[in-house]
Chains A and B, each alone.
Chain A
Amino acid sequence: MTEMFSTLFGQNEAQGPPGSSSLGFGPGKAPPPIPQNQVSMAGQMPPQLVDEGPALRKSGATNEHFYLLRELPVGNELTGNTNLITHYNLEHAYNKFCGKKVKEKLSNFLPELPGMIDCPGTQDGSSLRSLIDKPPVCGNSFSPLTGASLTGFRLHTGPLPEQYRLMHIQPPKKKSKHKHKHHRPQDPLPQETPSDTDPKKKKKKRDDDPDRKKKKKDKKKKKNRHSPDHPGLAGSQPSSNSLR
């Protein structure tokens, strides 16, 4: 074993104690002769390294006892021993996000955003990853459309085909405390046609139905009071006016 090391690293045989050749770390200068008082130290080997680091560059008196003693690394005040959440004043954020239950869906984070935003972006090609992989052409200035360019936006009248009617399918909007909610548009808009707002229309119908029923009942009562067919006045035939 000793012979293998010496052949590998080219150590001379006559270098210090016999055991030293087994620790040949590389081509280096011949070690200095060991003083007699150091021979008695058990387990101590003379240094043979060419570049041993700052500890062993010190005077021999300090390193004579501990061969591989190195300087301690520069202490870092901030270690894992410190609670880093407290150190960086993130307690409030931690309690906010980890103390309460955070809802899973994107629509809970952006309740005012129209459309189906909880679906994966890869399904309809609206993923942010695709925007990063294929960034759009930028750098051109934004200029308003002139009359000539607006001719391309002359549309045919009538409703959209079924396959393109996606925008109005929205998740039910929840009440939010968002401060910008109040600036809903005041622009004159063409009224939404019944064909596009079926769920809204159904809601409206449901809302109106009890009101309508009440109004109908009131009307019935009024008519029955004042009609000649009222059982209280005369006649035995039932009133057929209620179906109006």
Chain B
Amino acid sequence: MAEKFDNLEEHLEKFIENIRQLGIIVSDFQPSSQAVLNQKLNFMISGLQDIDKCQKQLHDINVPLEVFEYIDQGRNPQLYTKECLERALARNEQVKGKIDTMTKFKSLLISELSKVFPEEMAKYKEKRGEDGPS
């Protein structure tokens, strides 16, 4: 999987470098640079062709839209990954806390109900024992 990204990355780098050189040529143009300019323009088109060919390998890759917002703001997209992981861990801990609290509550409730309704609770435990682990 990393190989198809490497391929695209290589093509993109070459393309960007070509564009940068084009910008340098154009910034202070000389008549002798015309041939080089034409060559660079055709390199740009071939670069676009190469990048277009890469999309077949990457059709199954999905990028979250929120990452684009980070990039548009000039922020490191790795911050999005970091925040996702932190949010996932925080939510995981929150849910674990709820599960633990509910488990404790259940055991407390059963013990208290068993004191007040011993026969009914015995039947309940028997019933639950048939259905599966409570």
Contact = CB atoms under 8 A, between A and B. Distances in A.
Given A84-B88, A120-B73, A142-B52, A102 B79 contact: yes
B104 interface: no
Given A94-B89, A150-B38, A150-B41, A62 B127 contact: yes
Contacts of B42: 144-145
A155 B28 CA distance: 10
B31 A105 contact: no
A117 B100 CA distance: 47
A109 B46 CA distance: 27
Nearest to A194: B28
A233 B92 CA distance: 90
B28 A109 contact: no
B116 to A, nearest CB: 12
Interface in B77-110: 77-79, 81-82, 85-86, 88-89, 91-92, 94-96, 98-100
A229 interface: no
B24 A192 contact: yes
Nearest to B65: A132
A129 B69 contact: yes
A128 B81 contact: no
Nearest to A188: B36
A142 to B, nearest CB: 5
B38 A189 contact: no
A62 B127 CA distance: 8
A31 interface: no
Given A120-B74, A189-B36, A165 B27 contact: yes
A157 B31 contact: yes
Contacts of B28: 158-160, 192-193, 195-196
Given A106-B74, A119-B74, A159-B28, A168 B23 contact: yes
Interface in B17-48: 17, 20-21, 23-34, 36-38, 41-42, 45-46, 48
Which 8 interchain pairs have the tightest Cβ spacing? A80-B95, A97-B82, A167-B23, A121-B72, A193-B28, A128-B68, A118-B74, A155-B29
Interface of B: 9-10, 13-14, 16-17, 20-21, 23-34, 36-38, 41-42, 45-46, 48-49, 52, 65, 68-69, 71-79, 81-82, 85-86, 88-89, 91-92, 94-96, 98-100, 120, 123-124, 127-128, 131-132, 134
Given A85-B85, A180-B13, A184-B17, 12 more contacts: A106-B74, A106-B76, A120-B73, A128-B72, A144-B45, A145-B42, A155-B29, A157-B31, A159-B27, A160-B28, A168-B23, A195-B28
Interface of A: 62, 65-66, 69, 71-72, 75, 79-81, 83-85, 90, 93-94, 97-98, 102-106, 108-109, 112-114, 117-122, 127-129, 132, 142-145, 150, 153-160, 165, 167-168, 180, 183-185, 187-190, 192-193, 195-196
12 contacts: A69-B127, A80-B92, A85-B85, A85-B88, A90-B85, A106-B71, A106-B76, A119-B74, A129-B72, A144-B45, A145-B41, A190-B33
